[in-house]
Amino acid sequence: MCIAVFMWQAHPLYPFLLLFNRDEYHSRPTKPLGWWEGAEILGGRDEKAGGTWLASTTDGKFAFLTNFREVQSIPQAKSRGELPVRFLQSKKKPLDFAEEILTEADQYNGFNLVIVNIHSKSMVYVTNRSEGGKSIATEVSPGIHVLTNALLDSPWPKAQRLGHAFKELMDKYGEGELQMKEMADELMMDTTKDDEGLLPDIYPPETESHLSSIFIDTERPLGRYGTRSTSSLYVKSNGEVYFYERHLEKDLWKEQTVAYQIEK
C-alpha cells in the first residue's frame, strides 16, 4: 500500500526530502535500489511489471507512487508502476506530463502520483480517485505533506502520526544538517496500530487493523504482506542527492546508499 512523508521547498538546506515505506507481498519479485541498466534511472524496480514506486534521474527529476485503497479493481488495468518511469523518461514539465496522464487515467486502478522537477521547482500531485472519482492534477504547496492510500494529506490516523512525528523531528534538527538514515529508523519503523473506531472502514476491520501501522508485517490470503523497503531521499540546495534504502531480502534487512550530483 505504501506511505510517504515529505517536505517541499520549506527548508534552507533541503528543497526536497522524502521518507517512503513500500508495502507489498513478500513473494513479489523486486530489484533493490540501483541504477537501471540502459536507463538513467535510480530506484528499486518491480520485476513482475517492470515499474517502480520511487525513482529519480540525474537531471533533477523524481517520482513516487502509492496505490489507492479500494475494493473494486479494473480487470486488465495498466500497471501503475509504469507512471513514474514514464515521467522520468519524459522531457515534459511535471504539469504538462500530468495533463497527459489525466487523459488516460481511467485505464489504471486507483493511484496517487507525485512528480518533481528540481530545476523548475515544480512538484505536481496526480490522482484518478479524487472526489466523485474524478482525475485531478495540482501543484503541491511548500511544506510538509503525507501520502497514504487516500488523497494527499487525508487525515488517516497513521498519516497524522507520521506527519506530527516528522514535524517534531524537523523542529529538533532546526535548520542544520539532517541524518536521514536515523530519521527513517525513528519514523518509518513504527508498528503502532489504530483503534477500530479510527480505521478507514474500506476493508474488513481485522485487515484494516493490520494495515493501520506505518510499518506493516501481516499475513493476507495471498501470503505474507508488509513493508518490503524503507527509503530516505534528500536533495540539498547545491544539487547533491542522497538516496538510502533498507530492503528485505530473504528475511534479512540489507542497506545501501547512492549519492550523485544533479546535472545543471
Q: For the domain bounded by 3-154+220-261, which CATH number is listed?
A: 3.60.60.10
pLDDT band at 198 (very low <50, low <70, confident <90, very high): confident
Q: How far apart are CA 22 and CA 19, in angstroms?
A: 10
Q: Where are the domains of the chain?
A: 3-154+220-261
Q: Find residue 144's DSSP bridge partners.
A: 7
Which tens digits make up the pLDDT trace of 239-254? 999 999 999 998 999 9
Residue count of the chain, please give it. Answer: 264
What is the per-residue pLDDT across 210-235, written as a single tens digit (0 to 9) for each? Answer: 999 999 999 998 899 999 999 999 99
- What pLDDT shows up at residue 24? 96
* pLDDT tier, 135 (very low <50, low <70, confident <90, very high otherwise): very high
Supply the DSSP string of 49-61, one letter for each residue.
TS--SEEE-TTSE
What cell numbers appear for 6 in the block? Answer: 515529505
Q: What's the one-letter identity of residue 181?
A: K
Q: What does pLDDT average to over the chain?
A: 95
Q: In angstroms, rounded to a whole number, what is the distance separating the alpha carbons of residues 243 and 11?
A: 18
Distance CA 252, CA 55 (A): 23
